[in-house]
C-alpha cells in the first residue's frame, strides 16, 4: 500500500527527533546568509526558520482539525533560530508521541488522515532540510540511515510525484515509464500528458521501463528531492534520458 511506510512509525518518530535536533545544532555556528546548494534563493537561516515554522504549523493543524491560518512563523525578537527550531520540534514530538499512528487527525492528504502521516512527513522534512543546513554551512554531511533514505524514496514517489502533482493538475509533456532502483527495491514511475503515478514494483515489470534511474539510497533520495543535479555522477541514468529528466523536473514542481 502506497501510504504504508517501509519502516515502522516508531522509527520515523525517532528519526524526526534525531534529524530535527541535528538541524538545530547545525544552525548554531553557521552563517545564516550562506546559500543552500541545490536550492537557488534559499539560505541557511531561511531553511532553519522554515522548518521551525512548519513544526508549529503541523501542531496547529492537528489541534484545530483544519489547515491553520495563524501560527508563530518567525522567532520572537531576540530568540536564537536554533531555539526556535528546538522549541517547535519539542512541541511537535509531544503531540505525535501521545497519539497512536493509526489514530485519525487532519492532514493535507485526503486518504491519509492519521497521525502516522505526520510522523513520516516530518521525519523526511527534517532529514532533507538538515542536509540543506549542513551543506550550506560547509559542514560534514551526517549520513542518512539507509532504511530512512529508502523510505524517503518511497514517500517522494507516492506522496509528491503521484498525489501532489495530481492535486496541482500538473503532468508530463510526453508518455514514458521509469524504473527507480535502490538497495533491493524497485519502483515504477509513469508520466504522461494527463497523469503521473508511481508504485512499488518488481524486477520483471521494470524490464519494460523506458528508462532506469539507480543510485545508493541516500544519493537517490537527494536526487529525487532535487539536491543533486539531474545528470549527477552519483546517479546512473539508463535508457531514455528525456523521460528520466522529466521525472526529475516534475518533482521540482511537486516539491517546491
Average pLDDT value for residue range 102-111: 96
Dump pLDDT digits (tens) for 173-229: 999 999 999 999 999 999 999 999 999 999 999 999 999 999 999 999 999 999 999
- Distances from the Cα of 16 to the Cα of 22, 33, 83, 237, 253, angstroms: 10, 25, 16, 31, 25
Q: What pLDDT score was predicted for residue 1?
A: 53
Q: What pLDDT score was predicted for residue 39?
A: 87
Q: What cell was used for 119?
A: 510522523
Dump pLDDT digits (tens) for 135-175: 999 999 999 999 999 999 999 999 999 999 999 999 999 99
Bridge-partner residues for 212, per DSSP?
Answer: 179, 238
Q: What pLDDT score was predicted for residue 125?
A: 98
**Are 240 and 255 a contacting pair, CB within 8 Å?**
no
Residue 76 — φ and ψ, nearest 5°? -65, 160
Dump pLDDT digits (tens) for 70-100: 999 999 999 999 999 999 999 999 999 999 9
Closest among 74, 72, 80 to 27, alpha carbons compared: 80
Average pLDDT value for residue range 91-111: 97
Q: What pLDDT score was predicted for residue 2?
A: 64
Dump pLDDT digits (tens) for 11-55: 999 999 999 999 999 999 889 999 999 888 899 999 999 999 999
Q: Full-prediction pTM beyond 0.95?
A: yes
Using the structure block, give the residue that is written with the C-alpha cell 498525489. 163
Amino acid at each position: 500500500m502506497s501510504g504504508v511506510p517501509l519502516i515502522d512509525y516508531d522509527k520515523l518518530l525517532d528519526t524526526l527527533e534525531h534529524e530535527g535536533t541535528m538541524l538545530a545544532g547545525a544552525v548554531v555556528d553557521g552563517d545564516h546568509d550562506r546559500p543552500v546548494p541545490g536550492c537557488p534563493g534559499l539560505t541557511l537561516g531561511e531553511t532553519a526558520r522554515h522548518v521551525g515554522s512548519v513544526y508549529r504549523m503541523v501542531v496547529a493543524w492537528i489541534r484545530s482539525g483544519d489547515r491553520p491560518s495563524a501560527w508563530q512563523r518567525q522567532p520572537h525578537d531576540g530568540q536564537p533560530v536554533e531555539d526556535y527550531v528546538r522549541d517547535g520540534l519539542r512541541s511537535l514530538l509531544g503531540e505525535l508521541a501521545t497519539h497512536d499512528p493509526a489514530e485519525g487527525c487532519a492532514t493535507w492528504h485526503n486518504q491519509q488522515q492519521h497521525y502516522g502521516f505526520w510522523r513520516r512527513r516530518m521525519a523526511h522534512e527534517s532529514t532533507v532540510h538538515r542536509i540543506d543546513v549542513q551543506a550550506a554551512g560547509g559542514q560534514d554531511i551526517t549520513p542518512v540511515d539507509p532504511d530512512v533514505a529508502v523510505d524517503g524514496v518511497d514517500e517522494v514517489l507516492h506522496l509528491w510525484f503521484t498525489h501532489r502533482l495530481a492535486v496541482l493538475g500538473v503532468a508530463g509533456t510526453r508518455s514514458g515509464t521509469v524504473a527507480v532502483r535502490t538497495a533491493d527495491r524497485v519502483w515504477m514511475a509513469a508520466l504522461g500528458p494527463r497523469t503521473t503515478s508511481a508504485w512499488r514494483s518488481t524486477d520483471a515489470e521494470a524490464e519494460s521501463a523506458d528508462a532506469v534511474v539507480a543510485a545508493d539510497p541516500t544519493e537517490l533520495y537527494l536526487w529525487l528531492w532535487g539536491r543533486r543535479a539531474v545528470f549527477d555522477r552519483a546517479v546512473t541514468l539508463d535508457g531514455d534520458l528525456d523521460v528520466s529528466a522529466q521525472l526529475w523536473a516534475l518533482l521540482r514542481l511537486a516539491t517546491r
